[in-house]
Amino acid sequence: MTRTEVDPQARFDEIIEAGEKVEPRDWMPEAYRKTMIRQIAQHAHSEVIGQQPEGNWITRAPSLARKAILIAKVQDEAGHGLYLYSAAETLGVSRHELNEMLHSGRQKYSSIFNYPTLSWADIGAIGWLVDGAAITNQVMLTRTSYGPYSRAMIRICKEESFHQRQGYEIMLALVNGTEQQKAIAQDAFERWWWPSLAMFGPPDDQSTHTEQSQAWGIKLETNDELRQKFVDMTVPQADYLGLTVPDPELRYDEDSGHYHFGEIDWDDFWQVVKGNGPCNRERIAHKTKAWDDGAWVREAALAHAAKQANNSKGAEK
């Protein structure tokens, strides 16, 4: 058989089997393409919406150094959104279409950003816990089967680990501070702990996408495996900070070498996914208002570019 006669499905299976990367020019099953678009877009939207809860503290950061670090972090998130939209565009969908789907609720973003940032300690907790959970997932995704997504993840992971360390440092300063600072650190930790664990998605026996995503080499570890890895990594850090994990069932299991933890409130998780979280409406309202308010600017940029193109055509004649 010559190369052109190779069955495209067989070639795709070969790539996955060999642990190689699927590239934009390769044939891929339509369902794989759709899954990749859904996953990359959801990730991009999460970065973009994630600007809001943290941006909420830019003007109020307690020191100029913290203010600078926070602005740079929120800027990185917008940058991650850009790489990820570009990765999604290699699958034949435009950023504009993805944006529309976010605004209309047809595509989702990580539910974690539907919780409010109520104190400065939330900025520390988000960096430490939310970025920590994100990294656990994203380190796996650096080895995912779709090439552009995998490469975007390598770059994003480097910046995210920086963010996680900065978040941890905020917490460290707070727990070494005044009684009031310690109190906001514990309060933020309690509010972000369970939502961070829920970020890994439903338990394996209830996850609709896990099996197919594993077969396609998109997902290399299950939700429960990743969640366990995160808990094992984070509990000792909380101990070091002197923070109390809000879980009476939490204990270290000598036999397995893992922490045992209590049941996540999945009803609450699904309520937030369905739109009934503390900030779902505000996040989308903010995003669509920014987009609608900017319409005249985007129209002006297009009109100006068109005039420039006309002028240069005129000059060539």
Partner 1 sequence: MADPHELYTFLLRVGDDNLILAQRLGELVSWMPELEEDIAVANVALDHLGQARNVLTYAARMAGPDASEDTLAMERSEREFLNAVLVEQPNGDFGQTMARQLFVDAYQVPFYEALATSSDDTVAGIAAKAVKEARYHLARSSNWVVVLGDGTDESHQRMQAGIDAMWRYTADLFFTDETEEALQQAGILPSFDNIRGTFDDTVSSVLARGLLALPEDPYQRIGGRTGFHTEHLGHLLPDMQALHRANAGASW
Residues forming contacts to partner 1 in the complex (CB under 8 A) are 48, 51-52, 55, 58-68, 71-72, 74-75, 78-79, 81-82, 85, 120, 170, 173-174, 176-178, 180-181, 286, 290-291, 293-304, 307
CB of 126 within 8 A of CB of 115? no
Tokens representing residue 44 in the block: 């991009």
Q: Which is nearer to partner 1, 36 or 184 (CB)?
A: 184
- The residue assigned the tokens 């069955």 is 7
The one-letter code for the residue type at 181 is Q
Q: Which is nearer to partner 1, 187 or 232 (CB)?
A: 187
CB of 50 within 8 A of CB of 76? no
Q: Which is nearer to partner 1, 6 or 72 (CB)?
A: 72
Q: Which is nearer to partner 1, 10 or 64 (CB)?
A: 64
CB of 68 to partner 1, least distance (A): 5
CB of 295 to partner 1, least distance (A): 8
CB of 7 to partner 1, least distance (A): 40
The one-letter code for the residue type at 21 is K
CB of 47 to partner 1, least distance (A): 9
Q: Which is nearer to partner 1, 68 or 215 (CB)?
A: 68
Q: Find, among 138, 53, 46, the residue nearest to 98 by Cα.
A: 46
Task: Write the CA distances from 114 to 223, 269, 272, 313, integer angstroms.
Answer: 20, 11, 7, 49
Q: Which is nearer to partner 1, 49 or 91 (CB)?
A: 49
CB of 132 to partner 1, least distance (A): 21
**What are the beta bridge partners of residue 260?**
251
CA 10 vs. chain centroid, Å, equals 32
| Helix 131-141 × helix 147-175 angle, to 10° | 160
Q: Which is nearer to partner 1, 66 or 191 (CB)?
A: 66
CA angle 283/285/291 to nearest 5° reads 105
CB of 62 to partner 1, least distance (A): 4
CB of 289 to partner 1, least distance (A): 8
Tokens representing residue 66 in the block: 């913290």
The one-letter code for the residue type at 91 is L
CB of 154 to partner 1, least distance (A): 20
Q: Find, among 130, 114, 118, 122, the residue nearest to 277 by Cα.
A: 114
Q: Find, among 8, 31, 148, 32, the residue nearest to 89 by Cα.
A: 148
Q: Which is nearer to partner 1, 236 or 242 (CB)?
A: 242
CB of 195 within 8 A of CB of 115? yes
